[in-house]
Amino acid sequence: MSEQSSEDRTWIPYAPDRVSSPGETLRETLEALPMSQTDLAVRTGLSMKHINQIVSGTAALSHETAIKLERATGVSARYWNALESQYRDWLAREAERSTLSADLSWLKKMPLASLRKRGILTATAKEPTRQLQEVLAFFGVSTVAAWEDAWAIPSAAFLQSAAFEADPGAVAAWLRLGEMQASKMPTRPFDRSGLKQAIPELRALTVLPPEEFWPQVQSICADVGVAVILVPEVTGARASGATLWLSPTKALVQLSARHKRNDHLWFALFHELAHVLFHGKKEVFVEYKLGRDGGRMDEELEANNFASRTLIPLEANDQLEGVLTPGDAIALATELGVHPGIVAGRIQHNRAEHTFGVPKLFTSLVISETVDQQE
């Protein structure tokens, strides 16, 4: 997966250090005409008190007042309205900066280095408030409290299942990256029957190299309403896969390929597709290890069994026991119509100790140029 393009980066509006109030421009305009504030009050029908408040910036300049100023000064109402809008926007952002300053410590929970590497975070450590604004904008929330409501629950379920310490901010960031990427992927409305029928077609792709099978996987799944996305792991997330629904008609299956192995990738794909097929649309599944998600063991067992039997049917178990050499593994994989790495991975899973090199030979495939090939 390539680095995030500039158009994918979070947009933060330019915030100048200071914006003049319309009253300052009005004072300069009156001096240039020349016209006194008393004259302006007479010409506009406004009270002297109101004029003084506008000039001092303590009173907002309404659209009606802008029209009156246009007729009295010759400066268009649109100009006065634009000045007022810019000034009020600046005041609101300054007030927000003061409010946000109380939440700066929350940034310590966020994977700032990973977000900066992806081009999402541009503010430096010397601009903590701007960093906070950018992170909130990335997550699509207005406040830290809103982040807790929108993103903390999936992370909490994930952390309950993990056998190690994971970073909830990194988990949430990884999920958000997938959501953003999937939202731009066009898909047809979800078709459960169509997805079931596509499973054998997807399985047949396991024999192809990554550069050939991955575009086909995405296309087949998009045709039945599932956006399949690869998001390399955010440091600290340790997530392998996730399933959630972006809408009632569009599911997201997100993979990290963190194990960088062919068998893990395909098992993860069919595991997550099982969640789409069999489990509720309001559920969010995040797994660090397939079969472990928030204590929902029934759903995880069902997803594991579906993935396992899809790749290698139960009736082939006896044949797996008879694999003793790499040649045996290749022959069985050919017979089953799957990649040899899938057979090797199953043997590796089933046997506590290995006396031959089948797993190393066949489980090092990757699915994109940016996922380093490793054993």
pLDDT tens digits for range 208-263: 988 999 999 999 999 999 999 999 888 888 888 899 999 999 999 999 877 677 88
155 lies in the same domain as 177: no
Smallest CA-to-CA distance from 159 within 27, 292, 351 is with 292
238 lies in the same domain as 261: yes
Whether 92 is in a domain gets the answer yes
Whether 363 is in a domain gets the answer no
298 lies in the same domain as 179: yes
Q: What is the pLDDT of residue 166?
A: 64
Q: What is the pLDDT of residue 193?
A: 97
| Whole-model pTM over 0.85 | no
173 lies in the same domain as 282: yes
154 lies in the same domain as 94: no
59 lies in the same domain as 155: no
Range of the domain at 151: 102-159
Question: How many domains in the chain?
Answer: 3
309 lies in the same domain as 204: yes
Give the end of a domain, one of 100, 128, 150.
Answer: 100
Domain with 33 in it: what CATH number? 1.10.260.40
Helix residue ranges per DSSP H, 140-291: 144-161, 168-183, 192-204, 210-222, 262-278
Whether 320 is in a domain gets the answer no
Q: What is the pLDDT of residue 309?
A: 93
75 lies in the same domain as 120: no
Whether 107 is in a domain gets the answer yes
237 lies in the same domain as 307: yes
Whether 371 is in a domain gets the answer no
Angstrom distance (rounded) from CA 339 to CA 362: 8
Whether 303 is in a domain gets the answer yes
Smallest CA-to-CA distance from 356 within 364, 348, 366 is with 348
Chunk the chain into consecutive blocks of 10 residues (it has 375) and report each block's average pLDDT, rounded to whole numbers: 45 65 94 94 96 93 96 96 93 86 91 92 90 94 90 60 66 92 96 97 94 95 97 86 93 86 87 93 75 62 91 87 82 90 80 45 35 35
Tokens at residue 291, please?
A: 């079969």
Angstrom distance (rounded) from CA 223 to CA 216: 11
112 lies in the same domain as 224: no
Q: DSSP state, 240? A: -
Query: Which tens digit of pLDDT belongs to each residue from 300-320?
Result: 889 989 999 999 988 888 888
Whether 274 is in a domain gets the answer yes
